[in-house]
Structure 1
Amino acid sequence: MNKIFLILSIATIISCKSVTAPTTSDKKIEEVTSFKGQQVTGLSISDQGRMFANFPRWRKDVENSVVEIDKNGISHAFPNENWNSWEIGQAQKDSVFIGVQSVIAFEDELYVLDTRNALFKGVLDSPRVFVFDLETQTLKRTYIFEEDSFHQDSYMNDLRIDKKKEKVYITDSGHAGLVILDLVDGTTKRVLNNHYSTLAEKDHLIIEDNRWNNTVHSDGIALDTENDLLYYHALTGYSLYAVPTEVLINGTEEAIQKEVKFIKKTPAPDGMLFDTKGNLYFADLEQQKIMKLNISSGKMSTFAEGEKIRWADTFSIYKNSLYYTNSRINEITGPIINMEFSINKISLD
């Protein structure tokens, strides 16, 4: 989100009623910045506190695909305006963003996942991960997906970086599956293609008594670096799964499928994120909540809820605060020129 879908209908599905603990008051939710007429989905904050966000190519008139947000809440095209200059109908080039779905600041680099799929009309050319040096704001490397690792209807959605194993794990929410990118040799490997764990379970969600019609496969993704487990979840679904990264990297497809583990029934989420204490944060899209799941104990609780949570899409943690984007995907029924999309934060204490 991690994201997706600009479908022109209001929506929804039955919510999982599996929560309990006290909730965080709306009064503790602080708006950091907002964007009028520009639908933000991805968000990432670097170790130095630099904030980055992205705007997917779900419609025309996207001002910038990737921005850096300064301390005053002002957005600046990242790494520059030229990279953000592509428009619908233009030829594809390597040095422009076409359809960015996720950004991840990791150590001194920014990873930008470009679906190369504008308006959900199919992949124009191979999806890419661009890696930028945050000190110089220059491109360090471009990873181009190999043809056997994506489909024409693929929509690469979210990613997690495994420094230990020098890999990146990516969800495909358009054509169910996961992709593993090798950061050393640049190869890509597709796994769990149309597997039950990556497929959507529903074709709609129910939000505020409205039906949001969409089928969104593997979407949210989170990496447990201590136990070397990758967690993932379909957006229109209620099942959280995990698989060891070792088998993802080195196992056959048969071996990978055997190691997939069902973790828990949860509400339908978008993006997901671990904190340093083994808690997994994700949205309950149907109930306007942010959930907290302690993986070791299995205890799930409501971390925050209310009107300031409007499709919590992507999460980032910085200085003991959880930041999230409100992408308001289910609310869109036409032009978004007068809609506000925000980045908010909540203290983890």
Structure 2
Amino acid sequence: MKNILAFSVILLSLAACKGRINSKAEPKTAHQVTQVAEFKGQQVTGIAIANSGRMFVNFPRWREGVESAVVEIDGNKNKSYPNQEWNSWEIGQPVVADKFIAVQSVLAHDDKLYVLDTRNPQFKTVLDAPRVFVFDLKSNTLTATYILEKNSFHPDSYINDLRVDGDKIYFTDSGHAGLVVYNIATGTSKRILNDHFSTSAEVAYLTFAGTQWKRSVHSDGIELDVKNQRLLYHALTGYSLYSIPTASFDLDNKTEIEKTVRLESKTAAPDGMIFDNKGFLYYADLEKNKIDYRKPDGTIHTLIEGVDVRWADSFSIYKDDLYYTNSRINEVTGPIDEMVFTINKIKLPLN
């Protein structure tokens, strides 16, 4: 997940938890990285690839000059999705219902594209209410809009990432620590683990080549373990992977909910996360320009390390390839007009 501007996020100064990961590195020559797309002056964060192979990416409104919030990549051509009108809002204009305001993530699921709009451009405040726009990928038309209720977000919330499971949508909030669920059947939303230690940032900075990136970012990466019906989540500035049963969202007692939280593993500080069909969990080691993966037996391995990984923000899997966005968040210190942000892909490990 992704704060790059000089806007304040809640600071939480705790001791850094480094040097605790027993990562087994794969041979660096075993995997070939291929660049799929690049964007000059446009900072990409999210990526989603549908079952058909259609690829979508998004660009958050962390600054002025975002050309399109959501883009479909079709060969060498990039086009605003679903059209330019949906992407035409600019900072300072009135907020309207049928335009993207501040998109942070996209997710392809069951021939639909879920577009998560934080409604919080430049991290200043939520302008109305975070929401998810759902587009049918066969007709490219809007089929639903799911708006979070006021009791499930804060003015400083930055609803960051999402996963869909049946009639439930699960979210992380990286601006104000917590998890949220939206019930599609009832049209209601609920917040749990608000300011809980498991959803809160553990440290106030990350370190890149001896330089501190001074941000404190809460619950960010999220992934759903469908087999065991557990939701995994991770603070961006932190080194602990937690999970909670999805059934815990149905509990009303705060103490009972908190009792179901489980520490899964100590990891590197990551952004987004994704499972493959073998149950391998992929995530970035942001500070070391790596992508790691955790096997079901709990062992942690390195898939790739080096200059081809520059803040691997979000992931998507298509066929046998892992696609990831290089958002270069820690490298941004001013205007990004001359910076190039890429989408790369790499073969998944065989075993």
Q: Shorter-chain TM-score: which interval?
A: over 0.9
Alignment correspondent of 2:287: 286
Q: Map 1:1-349 to 2 at 5 A.
A: 3-7=1-5, 15-16=18-19, 17-25=21-29, 28-70=32-74, 72-163=75-166, 166-294=167-295, 296-349=296-349
Residue 134 of structure 1, CA deviation:
0.7
Q: Is the 8 A contact 1:180 1:249 kept in 2?
A: no
Residue 24 of structure 1, CA deviation:
3.9
Determine what percentage of the aligned residue pairs are the same residue: 55
Q: For residues 14 and 288 of structure 1, what CA distance do their matches in structure 2 show? A: 18
Q: For residues 233 and 205 of structure 1, what CA distance do their matches in structure 2 show? A: 15
Q: For residues 114 and 171 of structure 2, what CA distance do their matches in structure 1 show? A: 12
Distance 1:23 1:221, change over 3 A: farther
Q: Is the 8 A contact 1:42 1:101 kept in 2?
A: yes
Residue 77 of structure 1, CA deviation:
0.3
Residue 248 of structure 1, CA deviation:
2.0
Q: Which structure 2 segments of 5+ residues have no match? A: 8-15
- Residue type of the partner of 1:151? H
- Residue type of the partner of 2:346? I
- Residue type of the partner of 1:238? Y
Q: Which structure 1 segments of 5+ residues have no match? A: none
String of CA shifts for 1:217-240, please: whole Å, max 9, x gaps.
Answer: 000001000110100000000000
Q: Is the 8 A contact 1:15 1:287 kept in 2?
A: no
Q: For residues 242 and 73 of structure 1, what CA distance do their matches in structure 2 show? A: 39
Q: Is the 8 A contact 1:55 1:100 kept in 2?
A: yes
Distance 1:65 1:339, change over 3 A: same
Residue 186 of structure 1, CA deviation:
1.7
- The two structures, once aligned, show a CA RMSD in angstroms of 1.4
Greater RCO (Cα-Cα under 8 Å, separation 6 or more): 1
- Residue type of the partner of 2:345? K
Q: For residues 194 and 73 of structure 1, what CA distance do their matches in structure 2 show? A: 44
String of CA shifts for 1:308-334, please: whole Å, max 9, x gaps.
Answer: 100000000001100000000000011
Structure-1-length-normalised TM-score = 0.95
Distance 1:23 1:202, change over 3 A: farther
Residue 29 of structure 1, CA deviation:
0.6
Residue 253 of structure 1, CA deviation:
2.3
Equivalent residues, number: 340
Residue 19 of structure 1, CA deviation:
1.1
Q: For residues 2 and 230 of structure 2, what CA distance do their matches in structure 1 show? A: 25
Residue 177 of structure 1, CA deviation:
0.1
Shifted more, 107-116 versus 21-30: the winner is: 21-30
Residue 25 of structure 1, CA deviation:
3.4
Q: For residues 254 and 202 of structure 1, what CA distance do their matches in structure 2 show? A: 25
- Residue type of the partner of 1:160? R
- Residue type of the partner of 1:28? Q
Q: For residues 253 and 55 of structure 2, what CA distance do their matches in structure 1 show? A: 38
Q: For residues 92 and 240 of structure 2, what CA distance do their matches in structure 1 show? A: 38
Alignment correspondent of 2:10: none
Q: Is the 8 A contact 2:5 2:122 kept in 1?
A: no
Residue 303 of structure 1, CA deviation:
1.0
Residue 210 of structure 1, CA deviation:
1.0
